Each structure stands twice: as C-alpha cells, then as structure tokens.
C-alpha cells in the first residue's frame, strides 16, 4: 500500500507540474509525443518540429523511441520540461516567450537546446539573454559561448571571470574550456601585474588611472572557443 501511495503522489506531482507549464500541448490531431527528462509529455505536431528544427526533421534517427508502453510514439529527450516548454513555443505561430524574467539556469538550458536542435527562431533570443547575464554568470556563459563558437561573447565572459576562484571554474567549465581558461587566467594575471607595476611609477592622476583600466580591458583571450 505504501508503494501505491508513493506512485499516487508522484502522479499528482506530475499533474501539478504539467499544469504549471505555459505550453503543454494536447491537440487531438497531435502526431508525436515528446517526453521531457522529468517525465512531462508534450503532444505536438511533427510538421512544426520538422519545419523549425533541422534535427527534428530527422527525429527518427536522432532520438530514442518507446512504442511498447501503449502510449503511442514517444520521443524521449534529455532536456527538462521547463526548457522544452519554452523551446516548443518557438516552433508554433504565437507570441514568443519573454526570457528576461525566466531563471538563468532554464535560459542556459534553452540556449543549449536551441543550438543542439538547430532551432534558428530561438537562437538569437537565447544568445541575447545569456549575453545580458554575463556579468552575473560569466563562467556559465563562457561554457555556452566557447562550445558554440561565439567568440566575442566568450572573450567577454572570460575577462569577467578573472576574479573568480579557480575551484569554481573547475566545477563549472567543461574540461577543454577550463584548460584554455586556465592558460588565459595565468596570462591575464601576469599582464595585470606588469600593467599595475607600470602604473605605480607614473604620476597618479585620472588620466593614468583611465589608461590602466583600458589596458586591463585590452587583455583578450584568442583561443577560448572550440574553433580558432
């Protein structure tokens, strides 16, 4: 009985979770069901997915299907319901979501999903949202930008992350990105010491201070993205 009660609570939680989503589609003529990583089902129209995504156009070869459950053709994706809820809105003719009020981790997941499934209608908005968050989340933005070769954004994120602990970078960055970040970290701090040492022997006026700031900002990584 305890087991039955447990699954009953799980079902109720999933129902409540589904009701909280903005874009849960249950169209009578839906011909594909997408399952999120946290167990929410989206009943969608395959033609919309194929039209807006290069990857979904060949979904049979790129996703895992489950037709033994009696629930029809279910495609399992690795993204959460929060991320898919937003992603699918970019695949239908409707007002697109406003991302400025969406939690950063969800937006970061959405940005990765838009790149992964090649949803061109979503990538500009997600990139802009992450760009606007680079000051608060430089390492997370660097991960995204380096992985997808957004060079300018990657360089900005790298510079803004120079004051963060190395241990935090180890936990946050992908291994290949961390190696490049660590090289730039050493280079940046070495150049900073040289610039500050030069500043100390100059006359301490506003012009000298401004020149120092400009010099520090000019230290730019050139090999952080996946492709040079």
Please write the tens of the pLDDT for every residue from 2-23.
444 433 444 455 555 555 555 5
- Assess whether pLDDT exceeds 80 at residue 172: yes
What the block records as the tokens of 103 is: 């939690």
**Tens digit of pLDDT for each residue in 139-150?**
999 999 999 999
**Tens digit of pLDDT for each residue in 24-44?**
556 677 888 889 999 998 888
**pLDDT at position 177, please?**
96
Percent of the chain having pLDDT more than 90? 47
Say how many C-beta atoms besides its own lie within 10 A of residue 211's C-beta. Answer: 15
Of 104-113, 159-168, 203-212, the one with minimum mean pLDDT is 203-212
**Tens digit of pLDDT for each residue in 55-74?**
877 754 544 444 444 345 68
Show Cβ contacts of residue 197 under 8 Å, excluding neighbours closer than 6 positions: none
- Assess whether pLDDT exceeds 80 at residue 216: no
**pLDDT at position 31, please?**
82
User: Looking up tokens 């030069």, which residue turns up?
Assistant: 198
In angstroms, what CA-CA distances link 67 with 11, 24, 26, 80, 178?
Answer: 21, 21, 19, 21, 41
What is the rounded distance in angstroms from the CA atom of residue 79 to the CA atom of residue 109? Answer: 8
**CATH homologous superfamily of domain 1-117?**
Potassium Channel Kv1.1; Chain A (3.30.710.10)
Q: Domain spans of the chain?
A: 1-117, 134-228
């Amino acid at each position: 009985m305890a087991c039955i009660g447990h699954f009953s609570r799980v079902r109720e939680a999933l129902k409540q979770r589904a009701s909280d989503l903005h874009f849960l589609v249950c169209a009578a003529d839906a011909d594909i069901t997408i399952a999120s990583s946290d167990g929410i089902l989206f009943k969608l129209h395959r033609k919309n997915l194929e039209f807006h995504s290069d990857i979904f156009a060949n979904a049979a070869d790129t996703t895992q299907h489950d037709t033994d459950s009696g629930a029809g053709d279910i495609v399992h994706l690795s993204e959460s319901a929060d991320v898919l809820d937003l992603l699918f809105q970019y695949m239908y003719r409707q007002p697109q979501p406003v991302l400025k009020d969406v939690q950063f981790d969800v937006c970061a997941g959405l940005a990765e999903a838009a790149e992964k499934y090649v949803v061109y209608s979503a990538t500009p908005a997600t990139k802009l949202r992450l760009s606007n968050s680079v000051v608060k989340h430089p390492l997370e933005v660097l991960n995204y930008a380096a992985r997808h070769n957004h060079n300018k954004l990657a360089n900005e994120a790298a510079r803004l992350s120079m004051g963060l602990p190395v241990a935090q970078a180890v936990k946050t960055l992908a291994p290949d990105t961390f190696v490049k970040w660590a090289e730039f970290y050493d280079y940046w701090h070495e150049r900073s010491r040289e610039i500050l040492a030069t500043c100390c022997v100059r006359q301490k006026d506003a012009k000298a201070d401004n020149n120092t700031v400009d010099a520090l900002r000019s230290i730019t990584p050139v090999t952080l993205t996946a492709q040079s």
